[in-house]
Chains A and B, each alone.
Chain A
Amino acid sequence: MPESSSKPDTMDRRSFLRTGMGGALFLGTVSVTAGLSGCATSPAGDGYTALSDARASNYQFRFLTKDDIVLFEALLPAIVGPSLTEDPERRRIKIRETIERVDAGIHQFGPANQKELRGLFDLLNFGLTRVTVARVWSSWENASTADADAFLKRWQTSSIGLFNNGYIALTKVSNVAFYGHEDHWAASGYPGPPQWAVDALPQFKASA
């Protein structure tokens, strides 16, 4: 007997496979549809008006579109929000910097995984699939942190593997970009590299 049949309902698995396949095909078509329907489909470069804070950033987006940035502005408070400062101005800056790091990270992922993420982000950004597949009723711009959290929990606990995979992709890229950065090491209690070693090693000297 397959191991997975220890799960009470074997039908779950069969329907998971069916939906998983259908979902994969569906993902493939969304990018095309999104392009035709006027979703932002090119990297945002430096012109991301969605972020209203006044401080200029020289960062050039290479992968995330304006719509993707809005999506992450909605998701990050639910993913890393509890570790963010309460101060609204600094909070906005930290979210923006994390989105920039997400973009920089994805640039290094290379074409294959970028294509996968493009499919995922388009599915979440395109109104029809946002409502029918992600079951998020309001636009991401208007979604509350509670809406974002509820969406993440649905995909986390879903019996559909494709949604679990989407959940992992969204949270992993966000959590690594946030908790992995020096500014947020304190959030995990990580003290950073041993100072005595930093002081002793040539690559940390100003001339290196």
Chain B
Amino acid sequence: MSITDRIARGLESGWKVIDGATLTASQTHEADVVVIGTGAGGGTTAEILAKSGLSVILVEEGRLYHQKDFKMNELDAYASLYQEGMSRVTRDGAIAILQGRCVGGSTTVNWTSSFRTPEPTLNHWASQFGLDGLTPDAMKPWFNGREERHTISPWQVDPNPNNDVLRQGCEKLGWSWQIIPRNVKGCWNLGYCGVGCPTNAKQGALTTTIPGALDNNATLFHGLRADRLIMNQDRIDRLKASAMSADGVTPSGVEVELKAKHFVVAASAIGSPGLLLRSDIPDPYERIGKRTFLHPVNATVAEMPEAVDPYYGAPQSIYSDEFNFSRGVDGPAGYKLEVPPLHPAMSAGVVPGHGEQLKADLTKLPRLNSVLALLRDGFHPESPGGTVSLRDDGSPVLDYPVTNYLWQGLRDAFYKMAEIQFAAGAKKVRLMHLDSPWFATWGEARKAIDEMPMEIHRTRLFTAHQMGGCGMGSNPRESVVNGFGEHHQVANLSIHDASIFPTSIGANPQLSVYALSARNSSRLASKLLS
């Protein structure tokens, strides 16, 4: 039960960590490489570059939070650790976007599920986007390396009752299920991954690569918002950034300029296209911000006969790929089935309703199970994803139309999720949909799902995985970067995050980001050092 706080220890030992809120005068700094973003991609990149001897400055808009701040409290965590205080949505408000905004990015708040990029996805990328270097065989050593770095292995402990509903339901129906690999070391099995791991067991960027980079002389600015990359002829000369006040949302007026030989953007599938668009980075084929993917999620809840305590225990330990790639990589929309943890604020935000009806639903919380479907978007012509553009104030916004192709997948997922829950013994099942009552039998649910209007707002939709928007590919007319994350037009710009995925992944994306960033950072380091 090691609860060593690497961050607290490092700060004591003199790491170069600067809180933007403490800056009182505008200033300029310089390094070999400036890395924008400290999540799965930025952390990996910074550690590898710093270890190779390059000087690195890391820039994070969110603030540095660590064990002392992680008190298993949802309201505090959602306000401080998530983008837009957990209120981020797509442009029309139809899809709630769960995304980290803190040092470590989404890896600080994710539920630790760590999958290799599925082979059909990598093969699809090779055949459709000319990414021949990313075949399963070529990527294998990078997955191995990152699994070791982040202590990823299938969860050894019994699934909690919430996840066991998915296992039992699949088992009864003869559908496949598997144990989820997690990035944890000495996990206490508490269930609070989503609000910042209270025991430092989670091996996300915050406890692995960020400390690794800082141990190797990297500098971290947090509470510093990357505003614009400034070009000088055909190269990026510097980053202009704004310091944020201690509240994390108000710019203090202090400006920081960061100069470097090379710039790595790792600010997420919404943040990275946003930064590139604000910077007027050359984009001759108007690809920046296009083909942004979300793994759109719908969900059902079940009232189980016994206590489930869906707030306790490893939040995700069982998954089913029965319907993910089974109808072909580019067939009808496939989906991965998983389980979300249910704490009271999360439940109150996800279960729609008010008054007596909502009270009655939430009172069931100890006996509630939920199953969710992650739709694999971007593999079919009728799933072209969304588009990131800029609001008047320069902030990025994602327009993501839900196409009929996706609605068919979402309706299909409603059937399967309800069927699983009834098969596992649910007394009642409700869809996360404004028009859904509680159903007492699978037959009743099936009939109702036939008629359920699949429309935005009425169907509650979510995303915890943002991908694409700076897609990679061999053809510059159709992509922003090549298979190494190198920008097609600007020589000293790389992109190392989920924004370079040319489709969604078909699995929780953190290990895909770790592995691809490790591969591309190793190449970048040797290029910069030669």
A interface with B by C-beta (< 8 Å) = 2-4, 6-7, 13, 78-83, 101, 104-113, 116, 149, 152, 156-157, 161, 164-165, 168-169, 171-172, 174-182, 184-185, 187-190, 193-194, 197-198, 200-204, 208
Whether the pair B434, A188 counts as a contact (CB closer than 8 A) is: no
Contact of A175 with B453 at beta-carbon distance under 8 Å, contacts A188-B363, A190-B343 already known:
no
Partner among B71, B247, B345 whose Cβ is within 8 Å of the Cβ of A107: B247
A156 to B353, CA, bound (A): 8
Most buried by A among B67, B74, B88: B74
Whether the pair A3, B408 counts as a contact (CB closer than 8 A) is: yes
Identify which of B10-18, B373-381, B455-463 touches chain A.
Answer: B455-463
B300 at the interface (CB under 8 A from A): no
B137 at the interface (CB under 8 A from A): no
Main secondary structure of the interface of A (DSSP, over half): helix
A116 to B363, CA, bound (A): 31
Interface residues of B in 330-367 (CB under 8 A from A): 343-349, 352-356, 358-359, 362-366
Chain A residues positioned under 8 Å from B248 (CB to CB): 108
B192 at the interface (CB under 8 A from A): yes
Partner among A13, A152, A177, A179 whose Cβ is within 8 Å of the Cβ of B362: A179
Whether the pair A189, B363 counts as a contact (CB closer than 8 A) is: yes
Partner among A13, A78, A101, A172 whose Cβ is within 8 Å of the Cβ of B349: A172
A82 to B358, CA, bound (A): 9
Identify which of B22-30, B77-85, B473-481 touches chain A.
Answer: B77-85
Whether the pair A197, B68 counts as a contact (CB closer than 8 A) is: no
Chain B residues positioned under 8 Å from A171 (CB to CB): 352-354, 358
Partner among B75, B358, B364 whose Cβ is within 8 Å of the Cβ of A181: B75
16 A-B interface contacts by CB (under 8 A): A3-B404, A6-B454, A7-B453, A78-B354, A79-B354, A105-B78, A109-B87, A112-B391, A112-B397, A116-B93, A161-B458, A168-B352, A175-B354, A179-B348, A201-B3, A204-B71
B411 at the interface (CB under 8 A from A): yes
B442 at the interface (CB under 8 A from A): no
Chain B residues positioned under 8 Å from A179 (CB to CB): 344-345, 347-348, 362
A80 to B404, CA, bound (A): 36
B interface with A by C-beta (< 8 Å) = 1, 3, 67-75, 78-80, 84-85, 87-89, 92-94, 188, 190, 192, 198-199, 247-249, 311-312, 343-349, 352-356, 358-359, 362-366, 391, 393, 395, 397, 404, 407-408, 411, 434, 451, 453-458
A190 to B75, CA, bound (A): 14
Whether the pair B79, A108 counts as a contact (CB closer than 8 A) is: yes
A194 to B363, CA, bound (A): 19
A186 to B3, CA, bound (A): 30
Whether the pair A208, B68 counts as a contact (CB closer than 8 A) is: yes
Contact of A110 with B68 at beta-carbon distance under 8 Å, contacts A4-B455, A175-B349, A176-B348 already known:
no
Whether the pair B84, A164 counts as a contact (CB closer than 8 A) is: no
- Rounded to whole Å, the gap between the CB of A89 and the closest CB of chain B is 22
Chain B residues positioned under 8 Å from A3 (CB to CB): 404, 407-408, 411, 454
- Rounded to whole Å, the gap between the CB of B399 and the closest CB of chain A is 13
Chain B residues positioned under 8 Å from A111 (CB to CB): 393, 395
Whether the pair B190, A194 counts as a contact (CB closer than 8 A) is: yes
Chain A residues positioned under 8 Å from B312 (CB to CB): 194
A4 to B68, CA, bound (A): 49
Whether the pair B75, A105 counts as a contact (CB closer than 8 A) is: yes
A124 to B343, CA, bound (A): 31
Whether the pair B359, A2 counts as a contact (CB closer than 8 A) is: no
Chain A residues positioned under 8 Å from B78 (CB to CB): 105, 176, 180
Whether the pair A180, B344 counts as a contact (CB closer than 8 A) is: yes
A181 to B344, CA, bound (A): 8
A177 to B79, CA, bound (A): 11
Which residue of the partner chain A has the closest CB to B395?
Answer: A112
Whether the pair A188, B190 counts as a contact (CB closer than 8 A) is: no
- Rounded to whole Å, the gap between the CB of B100 and the closest CB of chain A is 14
- Rounded to whole Å, the gap between the CB of A154 and the closest CB of chain B is 12
Contact of A190 with B353 at beta-carbon distance under 8 Å, contacts A3-B411, A180-B344 already known:
no
A97 to B251, CA, bound (A): 28
A159 to B355, CA, bound (A): 21
Partner among B72, B355, B411 whose Cβ is within 8 Å of the Cβ of A193: B72
- Rounded to whole Å, the gap between the CB of A194 and the closest CB of chain B is 6
Most buried by A among B78, B346, B362: B362
Which residue of the partner chain B has the closest CB to A117?
Answer: B87
Contact of A104 with B79 at beta-carbon distance under 8 Å, contacts A161-B457, A179-B347, A203-B71 already known:
yes
- Rounded to whole Å, the gap between the CB of A135 and the closest CB of chain B is 17
Whether the pair A197, B188 counts as a contact (CB closer than 8 A) is: yes
Chain A residues positioned under 8 Å from B1 (CB to CB): 200
A178 to B74, CA, bound (A): 12
A83 to B85, CA, bound (A): 25
Chain A residues positioned under 8 Å from B454 (CB to CB): 3-4, 6
A16 to B498, CA, bound (A): 35
Whether the pair B354, A110 counts as a contact (CB closer than 8 A) is: no
Whether the pair B362, A187 counts as a contact (CB closer than 8 A) is: yes
